[in-house]
């Protein structure tokens, strides 16, 4: 999968007392980008009782995001296993300035049987795709 990039709006509520984006908000930005990327597959999988669960998340902060700074989140697949895959994120301004790099380990989970399952074919196709709509 090539990188999927989306713009994210920084809200006043994302700011902390120091006047920059709170570190916790970075994870919300990643979640927002992930939902935009997987919105159609999420809906189809959820109807089948299959969820994508974040098993691990980490973020390496490089620069603060200040009010008015442009923010884009780029996502790519960095590893794919049998029932899990890892997404790599880059939070940046779209012009070479990187605010943070991050990753999440995603597990495919069957809610009906309460266990992890192999990555469904329709999701594998998206993760293997050369381009993401």
Q: Quick check: 130 pLDDT over 70?
A: no
Average pLDDT estimate for 31-41: 89
HSE at residue 76, side-chain half, CA atoms within 13 A, is 9
Parse the chain into domains and list their residue ranges: 4-128
User: Where would I find the beta strands (DSSP E) of 1-133?
Assistant: 4-7, 50-61, 72-80, 84-92, 98-110, 115-116
The domain 4-128 having CATH identifier 3.30.750.24: the answer here is no
Nearest by Cα to 71 from 25, 106, 119: 25
Average pLDDT estimate for 110-116: 94
Q: Quick check: 1 pLDDT over 90?
A: no
Would you state the torsion angle of the CA atoms of residues 82, 47, 126, 79, taken in this order, to the nearest 10 degrees? Answer: -30
What pTM does this model have?
Answer: 0.90
Q: Is 104 left (phi over 0), alpha (psi -120 to 50) or beta?
A: beta
Q: Quick check: 133 pLDDT over 80?
A: no
């Amino acid at each position: 999968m090539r990188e999927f990039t989306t713009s994210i709006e920084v809200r006043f509520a994302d700011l902390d007392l120091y006047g920059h984006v709170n570190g916790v908000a970075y994870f919300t930005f990643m979640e927002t980008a992930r939902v935009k990327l997987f919105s159609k597959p999420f809906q189809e999988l959820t109807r089948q009782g299959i969820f994508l669960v974040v098993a691990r998340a980490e973020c390496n902060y490089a620069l603060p995001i200040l009010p008015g700074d442009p923010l884009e989140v780029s996502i790519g697949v960095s590893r794919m296993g049998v029932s899990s895959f890892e997404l790599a994120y880059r939070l940046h301004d779209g012009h070479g300035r990187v605010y943070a790099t991050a990753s999440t380990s995603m597990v495919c989970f069957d809610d009906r049987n309460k266990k992890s399952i192999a990555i469904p074919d329709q999701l594998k196709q998206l993760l293997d795709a050369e381009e993401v709509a």
